[in-house]
Structure 1
């Protein structure tokens, strides 16, 4: 149930970003000057990346907390650190500086790190769940007899 709520909330925030990125940008930037217009155009791309980032961030936060509730904080910490620092920062450096995608590349790399974190945390959860012999149903988790 909480997983669904987290995903729905992330989708709602993403939809707000997608439909209102101009209004949100105008809160901080008045695009009348040429310099502000350049920044304004950059924010369009950043908002698109932020939508994906928010979705995977919600998944990895829920995944981290699910593993912590199973008393498995060590594995979630190792997976998160590896995903953020090795994959996320490495990909941000690669896309941002080597491929010269600049700010978009940095945020794309960080989004990739969050996405890898979400996928590995949930894979770990399902591995631990099925290893323990527990079966999932739509409404509850029931131990296997």
Structure 2
């Protein structure tokens, strides 16, 4: 994780947060039954959670889960995974154009009338697909009819 964080130019916590946002890492909760101090014959659950590689990331070979010993598991991000993370961060970082807004009915009707002032209300309804009421209301607001 440290190497990936250095490559991305951020700290390990920020790198983990980025990987969680991309879905490569997810939280896993581990439950261990430990004996109670008051009565050693009874056990109570002790919970711990940590971030682990997601199953889909392992299947896509973006990382590997390695068991190094009893209770000591490691997750490695492979070079393919690093390339995927870089690609996704590049996509996120590129500025996108804001979605184009559909012109309002009054703008469409105004443009049609500017092009051809002899258009009737019925013609505007057929050309635009707006309802008769919408066309009538907008023409009235524009003072055209």
TM-score, structure 1 length as denominator? 0.29
- Which is helix-richer, 1 or 2? 1
Larger relative contact order (C-alpha < 8 A, sep ≥ 6)? 1
The TM-score normalised by the length of structure 2 is 0.29
- Larger radius of gyration, structure 1 or 2? 2
